[in-house]
Structure 1
Amino acid sequence: MDLARLDALAGPDGQAVLAELAGLGPAELTGPAGLRLGARLRERYPTELVVDAFGLAELRLRARAKFAGAADMWFTRDGLEQASAQEVAEHRRARFAGLGRLADLCCGIGGDLLALARDHDVLAVDRDPVHLWMAARNAAVHGLAVTTAEADVREIDLTGVAAAFVDPARRSGGRRHRTGASEPPLAWCTGLTERVAAVGIKAAPGVEHDVVPPGWEIEFVSVGRELKEAVLWSPALAGARTRATVLPAGAELLPAPGDPVPVREPGRYLLDPDPAVTRAGLVAELARATGTWQLDEKIAFLSGDACLTTPFARTLRVLDSGPWHQKTLLRRLRAVDAGAVDIRRRGLAGDVDALHRALQRGLTGSRRVTLVMTRLADRPWALICEDA
């Protein structure tokens, strides 16, 4: 979609079509009902306008998972996929508290801009005129005034800017860049500190620790046990080398010195750490904080005899524990009245999908359980658990 088509969609006819689509569900937009509605609308409005309106309406439905105000916002498919979710952006905003003017570089459709501009004067920069148009509109929808600049972020003047946030593109033309690659490259992003001391960089959750310069912090952020992204913070904003943040709780786990974590056989409960904790390398810190131990020094599962509630892990009650023998699994599952099984694997190879199909066919019980495939002191091990 180009700017002329966007302007048409923002005009009276476009808004009239969007108003007729507002509140419709996916089936009403894409199924037979959607085809009939589209045909009726094309009798009154240009076909291109109707097509664009349907496309935006579908994206607004998808965007509700990320933005509370999605119904009035503007999106492209790539822009929505790459945009930070509202709760993640709001969490990140706090790190810039007390600073002056901010630059939102590679702002896209404005996912982070909406949070940053709530209490900062923000310069939003992107070289994509469509995304920049949308970022300005999305800010206006939320009552926010921002300054925009259509430019390559590598050429923008940052005079008077106190801090910068950059979200380098990890895809272009609908295709993802190779792992670890971005545009602009990570080295350019970290080099921003030569001009602005306070810098935050959004990165893929798979970013390798060793590519991040010394003195920088790597924050891994998960939402509802799904690892969403990593954020790299320059020394002026860093608080530790790594950090695990779990939303919506807003809980943070930081490195802390302590005694080695003991390795023992499973207790009555199993803790499955949040992926932000494992990516941040903070399993030992979680174990010391919860008084638990590891089953294997190389595996992230923790165990204890008390039922613990922590935002940093899922707690499971151990129903059965023993060496891994695939031939005996069905019998063990039936013995605990399993009717449905999920499989969680760490440190043990195997075709999880094939195993799940084979086991599920033989289960008729009433319990939903989790089969944990792992290692105990370097021995293949199976635990059958249920949510605590």
Structure 2
Amino acid sequence: MPLSSQLTALEMSKGLAPTPANLDRITKATDAEAARWAFGQWDLRARAKGRFPEPERLLFVREALEQATHRGLSEYHASLFPAGKLVVDLTCGIGGDLMAFAARGPVLGFELDAERADYARWNLEAFGRKGEVRQEDGLAWLQEHEAEYVFADPARRVDGKRTLDPDVFSPDPFAVAEAASGASRWAMKLTPMLPDETLARLALRIEFVSFAGECREALAIGGSEPLEPGVWAVHPEREPLKGDVPVPAEADLAEGWLHDADPAAVRAHALGNFGLSSLGDSPGYLVGPTRVDSPWLRAYEVIDDVAPKRLKATLKALEADVPVLKQRGAGQNLDVWRKDLKNFGKRKVAVAFYVRGASVRAAVISL
């Protein structure tokens, strides 16, 4: 746990800017290390707003905060396990997921780093949630003990850099899946950028999780409890969308309505659920003669479809204001386009660049 001098410095520095004068005053009252630590904690607490509940009550490690799960996703992770049952978190870090698990029942967390383990205990206590945090190897413990409900979030960085090589994840995701095979339910958070073949080897159910307009993670889920297998796009507030649905037919031009698919639906290969055609060779744009309403789609009426060299003239003729530019795999420098496409009028439109064969097209769509 933090030293008394650090806690004193933390309270004294509340609301203060980290100026040399403030740092010197708190150093004199405590010590230099405590003062630096305290101002560092207030900076991390500010960065954690929106990601953690009441971050001003919590303690953080900078790298752990960068890797921590957003509270909305932690709550979704917790929903995978029954209330009142012990959940074992093999990789609890500073306790982001652990706090969500503890809100629904008892928890046991494992963390190798002493500082992170201490902060996980503090963060649990800050909200009056009970749980045990052990500074030891969670995977090694699971290989020697039985657990009914298990969660893991293997580290995916080597020397501070992200990696997509599961062989260097820590702990090894395949070893976790094997050790958890006797559990009633286990779940493991992974990067959605892992190949389909790798994910399929880990579990019968793979969920690509949408949050705040992004595909944030892949969840491998297994266990002896009944579980609908397959690949799914999920969102904490939506019905799951079945993945691995045959790819829709391809349309050469944007006509009728253009639909921008949620990245998790794209990653789960779920675009065949909507009765629409894919647009060119760009993943995620779908078109059809009528609008399809779905929480997994954003629909825009198509005004025109042009080559980029004709875009400026088209927008001038429409007397258009273009506040939104987007693309799917088109490789366009949108900042350059923003400077070039000045407002030509008051009609609000957007431009969606997409790829068709070796060429790039621009769909002008209504807002």
Q: What is the TM-score when the length of structure 1 is the normalising length?
A: 0.83
C-alpha spacing 1:299/1:52, structure 2 compared with 1 (3 Å): closer
Q: CA deviation at 1:46?
A: 1.1
Instruction: Please name the residue that 1:233 is paired with.
Output: 221
Could you list the per-position Cα deviations for residues 212-267 of structure 1 after superposition, in whole angstroms to 9, with x for gaps in the alignment?
227521111121202221111115464232111234x3442124868x74544534
- How far apart are the structure 1 equivalents of 2:35 and 2:262? 44
**Residue from 7, 18, 31 that aligns with 2:2:** 7
Determine whether 1:370 maps to 2:357.
Answer: no
- How far apart are the structure 2 equivalents of 1:84 and 1:178? 18
Aligned AA (1:304) = G
C-alpha spacing 1:98/1:7, structure 2 compared with 1 (3 Å): closer
Kept in 1, the 8 Å contact 2:13–2:26? The answer is no
C-alpha spacing 1:134/1:219, structure 2 compared with 1 (3 Å): same
Provide the aligned C-alpha RMSD in A. 2.8
Q: Percent identity?
A: 23
Q: CA deviation at 1:351?
A: 3.6
Deviates more, 1:297-306 or 1:195-204: 297-306
SS at match of 2:233: strand
Aligned AA (2:361) = W
Aligned AA (2:172) = P
C-alpha spacing 1:62/1:279, structure 2 compared with 1 (3 Å): same
**Residue from 314, 328, 341 that aligns with 1:346:** 328
Determine whether 1:17 maps to 2:2.
Answer: no
Instruction: Please name the residue that 2:148 is paired with.
Output: 162
Matches within 5 A, 1:153-302: 153-157=138-142, 159-180=145-166, 181-212=168-199, 213=201, 215-236=203-224, 238-247=227-236, 249-255=237-243, 261-264=248-251, 265-285=253-273, 287-288=274-275, 292-296=276-280, 299-302=283-286
Instruction: Please name the residue that 2:309 is paired with.
Output: 327
Q: CA deviation at 1:41?
A: 2.3
Kept in 1, the 8 Å contact 2:254–2:304? The answer is no
C-alpha spacing 1:215/1:78, structure 2 compared with 1 (3 Å): closer
Kept in 1, the 8 Å contact 2:182–2:224? The answer is no
Determine whether 1:337 maps to 2:319.
Answer: yes
- How far apart are the structure 2 equivalents of 1:148 and 1:354? 47
Q: CA deviation at 1:380?
A: 4.2
C-alpha spacing 1:179/1:172, structure 2 compared with 1 (3 Å): closer
SS at match of 1:156: helix
Q: What is the TM-score when the length of structure 2 is the normalising length?
A: 0.88
Instruction: Please name the residue that 2:363 is paired with.
Output: 383
SS at match of 1:7: coil
**Residue from 115, 138, 147 that aligns with 1:130:** 115
Segments ≥4 residues shifted beyond 6 Å: none
- How far apart are the structure 2 equivalents of 1:336 and 1:208? 43
C-alpha spacing 1:171/1:299, structure 2 compared with 1 (3 Å): closer
- How far apart are the structure 2 equivalents of 1:99 and 1:312? 33
C-alpha spacing 1:127/1:215, structure 2 compared with 1 (3 Å): closer
Kept in 2, the 8 Å contact 1:100–1:161? The answer is no
- How far apart are the structure 1 equivalents of 2:357 and 2:277? 12
Determine whether 1:59 maps to 2:51.
Answer: no
Determine whether 1:359 maps to 2:340.
Answer: yes
- How far apart are the structure 1 equivalents of 2:238 and 2:74? 12
What are structure 2's unaligned runs of at least 5 residues? none
Kept in 1, the 8 Å contact 2:48–2:55? The answer is yes
Kept in 2, the 8 Å contact 1:116–1:122? The answer is yes
C-alpha spacing 1:81/1:257, structure 2 compared with 1 (3 Å): closer
C-alpha spacing 1:370/1:71, structure 2 compared with 1 (3 Å): same
C-alpha spacing 1:320/1:20, structure 2 compared with 1 (3 Å): farther
SS at match of 2:29: coil
Kept in 1, the 8 Å contact 2:154–2:189? The answer is yes
Matches within 5 A, 1:56-135: 56-97=41-82, 100-135=85-120
Kept in 2, the 8 Å contact 1:296–1:378? The answer is no
- How far apart are the structure 1 equivalents of 2:170 and 2:312? 50
Kept in 2, the 8 Å contact 1:118–1:144? The answer is yes
Kept in 1, the 8 Å contact 2:94–2:123? The answer is yes
C-alpha spacing 1:279/1:170, structure 2 compared with 1 (3 Å): same
Kept in 2, the 8 Å contact 1:343–1:352? The answer is no
Kept in 1, the 8 Å contact 2:192–2:216? The answer is yes
C-alpha spacing 1:266/1:39, structure 2 compared with 1 (3 Å): same
Deviates more, 1:171-180 or 1:144-153: 171-180
Number of equivalences: 362
- How far apart are the structure 2 equivalents of 1:168 and 1:153? 11
Q: CA deviation at 1:268?
A: 3.1
- How far apart are the structure 2 equivalents of 1:35 and 1:200? 47
